[in-house]
Chain A
């Protein structure tokens, strides 16, 4: 089922703008057929990817552009976050290791990419001609 067409969002590279875009991702995922809980997690994945682009690709500098692109294809819901900043140097799915009994071992960063990989079925990173895209795919329900 796909109740959405091709949807794109352009943002100036500010964290406040990512906050505004999040609910649009949630609603788009809902219209694509995902439950509220699944749509919430897909919103989370896109927010994490967009935050990473703002903070790392652009080093927190505004006045740069960020794009979120969502569409359904071949039974998959595809969510892409693209920037034209510095490419990620390490795209290996991170581990989240800590000792619950030892608070000093708790992570204070690095959870965003971990969450993206936990939420999505497939994650690819494409960097070409100065444009970086994190492509996340999730099987559509009932597909």
Chain B
């Protein structure tokens, strides 16, 4: 899976360039983002604008990243979620956990306002 990574004023924005975040790619996705976190990034935006389908393996990868960044005193937020992904978050009640914003800009701004952990 191709990932675009950019640093916006100290916020790491990770954008998977794939329509599906499923079991065939979720492990590699988790490892790549976790590596970025271990490299010192503790404010992460996952931009899912290109992702049209996610299964429970993709969800598990999101949870792994969220846990990893939280352990380091950081935060992870999500942008670009369509109605299908939104319904998946609701079915699993992860909408109560995941912070979702309409755009990368709004997600980055929200992270910039977070107090350091």
Contact = CB atoms under 8 A, between A and B. Distances in A.
Contacts of B24: 14-16, 18-19
Interface string A11-46: 000111011001000000000000001001101100
A18 B66 CA distance: 26
B92 A51 contact: no
Given A18-B23, A100-B96, A112 B67 contact: no
Contacts of B50: none
A7 interface: no
Contacts of A9: none
A106 B22 contact: no
Q: How large is the interface on B (under 10, 10 to 19, 20 to 34, 35 or more residues)?
A: 20 to 34
Interface residues of A, number: 31
B83 A103 contact: no
B112 interface: no
Given A40-B53, A96-B92, A103-B70, A15 B22 contact: yes
Interface in B12-55: 20, 22-24, 53, 55
B73 to A, nearest CB: 12
A29 to B, nearest CB: 13
B115 interface: no
Contacts of A118: 91
Interface of chain A, helix or strand or loop or mixed? Answer: helix
B60 A108 contact: yes
A126 interface: no
A114 B96 CA distance: 17
Given A22-B53, A51-B57, A100-B97, A37 B92 contact: no
A69 to B, nearest CB: 20
A98 to B, nearest CB: 8
A109 interface: yes
B64 interface: yes
A44 B70 CA distance: 29
Interface string B76-117: 000000011001100111101100000000000000000000
15 contacts: A16-B24, A22-B20, A37-B84, A37-B87, A40-B87, A41-B87, A44-B55, A47-B23, A51-B57, A96-B93, A100-B96, A106-B66, A106-B94, A111-B56, A114-B92
The 10 A-B pairs of least Cβ separation, nearest first, read: A111-B56, A15-B24, A100-B96, A112-B56, A51-B23, A40-B84, A15-B23, A16-B24, A106-B63, A19-B24
